[in-house]
Structure 1
């Protein structure tokens, strides 16, 4: 019985959460009021989503998923508990009493980070131990789907002011999307340096700033978002001075 390996649909990467579903708590009690649909199999309780029954020769034995997991009733031949986002509990709304610990609302599951100011990390709780994990650059944790998503695609609205990395000279990537010359959003937009025409900034995935530099003799053009000849960039025409002029005279 292995935890299903599902992930974050919008991303180009994969994270595997390894829950072993023998983390079910076996309750050796005969289900007195539960009637087995068939002689053998695993069947959900009608009210509680993390409670289920093992039927053997028509006799029901009550079993309980580990705290934070719920019973996956998609196949009566398999005994499997999973995180709630992967299981449709329908009318089975009740759950066992939670067993919280530091960083974990329940003993098992995927949850938002305990620091409400941190949106680009989440917590994978296994048997009460909180494991802090990062989202890929530019993504935030969306607890409605238990995965990482682009802020514009997320239902989480408390991360619009997520703390952003700041370079030594004070530059940080803007929150708004940057549209390129072709009318499309730039995935890694660039910005001019405030003091150096040859240098510029790159925002990886729109959020992670780093320094960039044009090759010697060229300068950054903030209209085309590319390196260009100095004479094509107002204010940077004489950036290289006589050195540039001498270079153009060479055969």
Structure 2
């Protein structure tokens, strides 16, 4: 056991002796391993490792130079320490895709092996190379489950984008319900439909794209004057 320990120490001493510290004290990257660096004090290097999942960025102008892998260009420093997986985290730290490759709109933020599941904004997929949620064609992931784009009542978001008065594309366009003055649809990112409604006493104004007083919406002026059975059409009242 003692011989093994001495051998390991000699190996590390040999490796460190191969690294030559620059004249200025500081932290410097290992030429081959991206999550390894050297702390140089008085010209003497001490090898260190970033927390598992993080890599060393020599360009960071602060004491802690370990960062997320997608923020660092490792160039030829392709080697990494052995991973220390824990639960759904393949490494202790980082942003990782869902373990089910068909689930592309969810990912994990792992910090010291403790994970938080995050869901992307509607219509987006997680991209592990940027650590963010992007459009599916940018993520380029295969085998993803198709998200439902049809509501129970048959509404689907129009393929043609909606534009505002200035000709700009509306990111989350809204559409009036065909038979219910109180309800309306929102297409998140123009693709995922949601069925929403105004508070009691208001109706949806398609012109202003917001909830409004009934008297301001032609055809819905008498919407709340008769409370009986569910609506069958925009006749200005419930039948």
**TM-score tier (shorter):** 0.5 to 0.7
Aligned partner of 2:50 among 38, 56, 65? 65
Contact 1:118 1:162 in 2 (8 A): no
- 1:202 lines up with 2:198 in the alignment: no
Aligned partner of 2:236 among 213, 234, 240? 240
Q: Which residue of 2 aligns with 1:189?
A: 173
- 1:32 lines up with 2:28 in the alignment: no
Counterparts of 1:76-91 in structure 2, within 5 Å, are 78-91=63-76
- 1:128 lines up with 2:138 in the alignment: no
Q: Which residue of 2 aligns with 1:229?
A: 218
Contact 1:164 1:172 in 2 (8 A): no
In 1: Cα distance, 2:67 partner to 2:79 partner:
16
Contact 2:52 2:91 in 1 (8 A): yes
In 1: Cα distance, 2:128 partner to 2:47 partner:
30
Q: 1:141 to 1:152 in 2, by over 3 A?
A: closer
Q: Which runs of 4+ in 1 moved over 6 A?
A: 214-221, 223-227
Unaligned residue ranges in structure 2 (runs of 5+)? 1-11, 211-215, 220-231
Aligned-CA RMSD value: 3.9
Query: Which of the pair is proportionally richer in helix?
Result: 2
Where 1:154 maps in the other structure, the secondary structure is: helix
1:45 Cα offset (Å): 0.5
TM-score, reference length from structure 2: 0.67
Contact 2:32 2:78 in 1 (8 A): yes
1:130 Cα offset (Å): 2.1
Q: 1:88 to 1:237 in 2, by over 3 A?
A: closer
Q: Which residue of 2 aligns with 1:154?
A: 138
1:214 Cα offset (Å): 11
Aligned partner of 1:114 among 84, 91, 99? 99
Which structure would you say has the larger Rg? Answer: 2
In 1: Cα distance, 2:36 partner to 2:139 partner:
29
Unaligned residue ranges in structure 1 (runs of 5+)? 1-28, 231-235, 244-251
Instruction: List per-residue Cα deviations over 1:100-145 (Å, max 9, x = no partner).
Output: 2221121111111223333332201122222212334444322221
Instruction: List per-residue Cα deviations over 1:133-159 (Å, max 9, x = no partner).
Output: 23344443222210123x167333448
Counterparts of 1:158-169 in structure 2, within 5 Å, are 158=142, 162-164=146-148, 169=152
How many pairs were matched up?
208
